Chain A
Amino acid sequence: MSWLEKIFGGTQPKTAQLAKERLTLVIAHQRADEAGAPDFLPELQKELIAVISKYVKVNADDIKVQLEKKGNYEVLEVNIVMPEAH
Chain B
Amino acid sequence: MTTRIIVVTSGKGGVGKTTTSASFASGLALRGFKTAVIDFDVGLRNLDLIMGCERRVVYDFVNVIQGEANLHQALIKDKHCENLFVLPASQTRDKDALSEEGVEKVLKELEHMGFDYVICDSPAGIEHGAIMALTFADEALIVTNPEVSSIRDSDRILGILQSKSRRAKEGREAVKEHLVVTRYSARRVEEGEMLSYKDVQELLRVPLLGVIPESETVLQASNSGAPVIHTKESEAAEAYQDVVSRFLGEEREMRFVTYEKPGLLKRIFGGA
Contact = CB atoms under 8 A, between A and B. Distances in A.
Given A31-B159, A34-B163, A16 B152 contact: no
Interface in B190-205: 191-196, 199, 203-204
Interface string A13-49: 0111101101110110011001000000000000000
A27 B163 CA distance: 17
A39 to B, nearest CB: 14
A31 B192 CA distance: 27
B203 A27 contact: yes
A30 B159 contact: yes
Chain B interface residue bracket vs A:
20 to 34
Nearest to A5: B267
Nearest to A6: B267
Nearest to A10: B191
Given A6-B268, A7-B268, A16 B155 contact: no
Given A7-B264, A7-B268, A17 B155 contact: no
A6 B271 CA distance: 13
A31 B199 contact: no
A30 B152 contact: yes
B151 interface: yes
Given A16-B194, A20-B195, 7 more contacts: A14-B193, A16-B192, A16-B199, A20-B199, A22-B148, A23-B151, A26-B152
21 contacts: A3-B268, A6-B268, A7-B268, A12-B191, A12-B193, A14-B192, A16-B193, A16-B194, A16-B199, A19-B148, A22-B148, A23-B148, A23-B203, A26-B152, A27-B152, A27-B155, A30-B152, A30-B155, A30-B156, A31-B155, A34-B163
